[in-house]
Structure 1
Amino acid sequence: MSSSTLTPSKERWLLWSLSGVQFTHIVDFMVMMPLGPQLTRLFGLSDAQFGLLVSVYSLAAGVSGLLASLVIDRFGRKRALLAMYAGFIVATLACGLAPSYGSLMGARIAAGVFGGVLGALVQTIVGDAIPFERRGRAMGVVMASFSLATVAGVPASLWLASQGGWHWPFFAIALFSVPVWLIALGVVPSLRGHLAGAAAGSSFNQLRRVLSEVNHWRAFGLSALMVLGSFSIIPYITIYTTTNLGLTQEQVPLIYLVGGVATFFTARIWGQLADRHGKVLVFRAISVVAVLPMLILTHLPVVPVGVLVLVTTAFFIFVSGRMVPGMALLTAAPPPAMRGAFMSVNGALQSGAMGLAAWLGGALISRTPDGLVQGYGRTGWLALASTIVMVWWVGRLRVHQAGQTPAV
């Protein structure tokens, strides 16, 4: 079966199965952070040790993405997805079975290795299977899984942890992933058309081809700009709102619950608008509007909780909204024969850009003698500057519509 034979029903099932893959590996990544109190108490960890336990997943995902770029386009998309997802299920199960800090660290590295490649594979399959004129809507459906992970996956996992211990969220993710794997086995097309144009010779030849194309570096630059401003703000939202704005720890989940529900619905709306009015135009429009909640949030004084939730919800709606047309454009930057390698490299570079952005955000803020956060507004100005560059930069990207001739 090829993308050209996909009926509307088969296309929906494909997108739902890919959303399930995204949902499970995003929950697996996110759930580690709120499990911190249980794990540090059980294993006697320092903050630095727990921080390493969280960050090692992203580091492993970045490395595996680069390594996968060497060989990923030599395999059918379905075969690669099923193999990586099976490895992810086993690694997640190993996390739940880990009896010590060291074994849990090893299992998290394995989960990151498979999870990092899965993210790139899902985006690659969307690019291969869905025509460019419908790819915005398709990307909106798949990216809605991030919101679902926030509002449903993580809270459910934490409830399981409170009932049965920290092991149970990982058992539940692994168990839920099995039927998702079986559905993917039945509905994901083989997608082997890219093999005809795959690079001959050594595996490094494919990576060299990806890195030698100027347009690919334009896409990598756009990908980095999309996260530069926002990820200098996001890691410090909870710190700023609880320290400076008086939000209680019990009220913090309200921000992410409301924001997650809102983005679950708006992600698909952005995708439909991108297909109807043009992905570059919608990307630029959302990006410009996103500057407002970014600046307001980072300069916000003490306000009623309702006003704060309104601002943070607008932040999540528009900041995450840029990613829908943005990722649709990125999947069309390379030709099909290099799409897997390209998306793997892009995932690794985007992970690095997120880390750099978080570091920049931390460098821009500081604490007053009485413990309040100061300098948070600087991250908002950084977001404004990166958005100005990004709105101009996206016009330089060439895309392959329907996988054929590059077009602006």
Structure 2
Amino acid sequence: MSQPLTHPLHTIQKERAIIFILAALQFLHILDFVIMMPLGPVFMESFKIDSAAFGLLVSSYSISAGVFGLIGALFLDSYDRKMSLLVLFFGFSVGTLLCAFAPNYPFLLFARIVAGGFGGMLGATVLSIIGDIIPVFRRGTATGVVMSSFSVASVIGIPIGLSLANKFGWQFPFLSLAIAGFLILPIGYKVLPSIRYHLDSDVHPKQSQLKSLIQVVTKKDHMAPFIFMVFLMFGGFTIIPFLSPFLVSNVGLVFSDLPYIYFFGGLFTFFTSRFIGKLSDRYGKLTVYQIISIIAVIPIVLVVSLTKTSLPIVLTITTLFMILVSGRMVPAFAMITSAVEPRIRGSFMSVNSAIQQISSGVASYVAGLILVQAPDNQLVNYELVGMISVFSLLFSVYLAKKIKIAG
């Protein structure tokens, strides 16, 4: 039986084991979400849907995650974070299993809502655990490792998932993810310690979760990170969900080229995410975020302006896009995680995660409405979507200065 954790861990070896299992859980969670986007052309053809319907398919997961994340804010701080994480991950795996057996578009939409509902609370809990047990001076590095799950999902998960989809059908990647999820649960139970520091009444006087939620939402210092999160998401999720359909329909790539996009993008970001995490700890999270965000404008403009282009050039541009657009998330989340006191961190991260998910879902859906599919299947107005992304990115640079670090 794990002993209750009453103070931050100081044993580096134990920290590494915990960070590893958190990264593994986050990997499966992230892969379940990101695999939808490269499969976009397959879904649009299989279910005979347009860009708006596909945008709804992507956004349904995110919006569900946001809504249930708010519900989770009412009770997540009342339980051991370890058990909360494992129960949520079990529900998430069930939702993913439902996706694998979806016979039509409406059922798949329902399954994505189920998976998203658990996934939203899952992400908030992972970040809360990092905030609770990792000292602030190593938090940027730890966040970078866990955030590198996106890179691993891109390098390993997406190419394997697309290969499975090509060979056995689009359902098989979801089936594989569900099975992996059920297998990793007992490992997580063994590795993770009981995390009850936030429940220590001697350190943090108890109050109702509704009161905690109201305190989280109404506290003046929390408004800056919440608004910042909205523009952080609009900076990426107006572009990302439709990248694969755009590259196939407008740039001239074939479906079998898509794994290379995610492989090389993920391969580089696997290393750069960790490097950016270390830079954030050394030079300041705000400074690193601002620099990366401003530079990220360049690949965004290049991506949305692509026409018929050779694969090597596309790979160069999209890899730079992924390095910078995903890299800015490392200092951003490190700043946000540190913007709240431990006593209400679970509620804060749940609300923040809800804002993150709803914002990304709205961004995807709005982009789907703006994009128009021409008679030759090309997507029109991607440049306009890119303008929204650039504005959001630059405005977030200003908003980042308003975030106050609490510890």
TM-score, normalized by the shorter chain, greater than 0.5: yes
Distance 1:51 1:341, change over 3 A: same
Is the contact between residue 62 and residue 361 of structure 2 (CA under 8 Å) also seen in structure 1? no
**1:36–1:316 Cα change, 3 Å:** closer
Alignment of 1:128-167 (within 5 A): 128-164=132-168, 167=171
Label 1:359 to 1:29 Cα distance change in 2 as closer, same or farther (>3 A): closer
- Residue ranges of structure 2 left out of the alignment (5+ in a row): none
Q: Residues 360, 106 of structure 1: CA spacing in aligned structure 2 closer, same or farther, 3 A cutoff? A: closer
Q: 1:331 to 1:238 in 2, by over 3 A?
A: same
Match of 1:82 in 2: 86
Deviation, 1:321, is 0.5
Please name the residue that 2:207 is paired with.
200
Alpha-carbon displacement from aligned partner over 1:69-98 (angstroms, at most 9, x marks no partner): 111111121121122122223443444466
TM-score w.r.t. the length of structure 2 is 0.87
**CA distance in 2: counterparts of 1:319 and 1:224, whole angstroms:** 15
8 A Cα contact 1:287 1:387, kept in partner: yes
Q: In structure 2, what is the Cα distance between the partners aligned to 1:207 and 1:272?
A: 32
Are 1:264 and 2:260 matched, yes or no? Answer: no
Deviations 1:278-301, CA, capped at 9 Å, x for gaps: 111111111111111112222345
Q: 1:245 to 1:112 in 2, by over 3 A?
A: closer
The change in CA–CA distance for 1:310 and 1:169 in structure 2 (over 3 A counts) is closer
Output the TM-score relative to the length of structure 1: 0.87
Q: Is the 8 A contact 1:263 1:320 kept in 2?
A: yes
Which residue is 1:406 aligned to?
A: none
Q: 2:17 aligned to 13, 16, 32, which one?
A: 13
C-alpha contact 2:74 2:347 (8 A) present in aligned 1: yes
The aligned residue for residue 185 of structure 2 is 181
Which deviations, in whole Å up to 9, do the C-alpha atoms of 1:117-150 show, x marking residues without a partner? 1111111111111111111111111011112122
Quote the offset at 1:271 in angstroms: 0.4
Give 1:404's aligned residue: none
Would you say the 8 A contact 2:61–2:115 is kept in 1?
Answer: yes
Compared CA separation, residues 106 and 354, structure 1 to 2 (3 A): closer
2:127 maps to 1:120: no
Secondary structure of the structure 1 residue equivalent to 2:195:
coil
Report what 1:405 is aligned to.
none
Provide, for residues 258-280 of structure 1, a one-character-per-residue CA deviation record: whole Å limited to 9, x for no partner. 11111111111100110111111
Equivalent-residue separation in structure 2 for 1:165 and 1:363 (angstroms): 28
371-380 vs 254-263, greater mean Cα deviation: 371-380
SS in 2 for 1:26: helix
How far, CA to CA, are the matches of 1:93 and 1:358 in structure 2?
A: 24
Any residues of structure 2 matched to 1:9-408 within 5 Å, and which?
A: 9-32=13-36, 54-96=58-100, 106-164=110-168, 167-195=171-199, 196=201, 197=204, 200-201=207-208, 203-362=209-368, 364-366=370-372, 373-401=379-407
Contact 1:3/1:191 (8 A) holds in 2: no
Cα gap change, 1:198 to 1:149, in 2 (>3 Å): farther
CA RMSD of aligned residues (A): 2.9
1:337-376 CA distances to partner (integer Å, 9 max, x unpaired)?
Answer: 1111111111111122113323443455556787655543
Q: Which range moved further: 341-350 or 157-166?
A: 157-166
Distance 1:124 1:77 in 2: 8
The one-character-per-residue Cα deviations of 1:160-219 (angstroms, maximum 9, x if unpaired) are 445555554334223322443223222323221212336523x32121111011111110
Over the matched positions of the two proteins, sequence identity in percent amounts to 41
User: How far did 1:57 drift?
Assistant: 2.6
User: Could you tell me whether the CA contact under 8 Å between 2:373 and 2:379 is conserved in 1?
Assistant: yes
**For the structure 1 residues 130 and 254, does the alpha-carbon distance in structure 2 shift closer, same or farther, using more than 3 Å as the test?**
same
Cα displacement (A) at 1:99: 6.9
Change (3 A) 1:199 1:3: closer
**1:233 touches 1:380 (CA, 8 Å); kept in 2?**
yes
Q: Distance in 1 between matches of 2:44 and 2:318?
A: 30
Q: Greater relative contact order (Cα 8 A, min sep 6): structure 1 or 2?
A: 2
Call closer, same or farther: CA 1:103–1:256 in 2, change over 3 Å: closer
SS at match of 2:179: helix
Unaligned runs of 5+ in 1: 402-408
> Is the partner of 1:4 in helix, strand or coil?
coil
Q: How far apart are residue 246 of structure 1 and its match?
A: 2.9
Aligned 8 A contact 2:55 2:364 in 1: no
Mark the CA change 1:387 to 1:160 in structure 2 (over 3 Å): closer, same or farther. closer
Q: What CA distance in whole angstroms lies between the structure 2 residues aligned with 1:371 and 1:105?
A: 23
Question: For 1:97 and 1:238, how far apart are their aligned partners in 2?
Answer: 24
Q: How far did 1:332 drift?
A: 0.9
Partner amino acid, structure 1, of 2:126 = V
| Distance in 1 of aligned mates of 2:85 and 2:177 | 17
Compared CA separation, residues 165 and 331, structure 1 to 2 (3 A) = same
Deviation at 1:100? 7.3
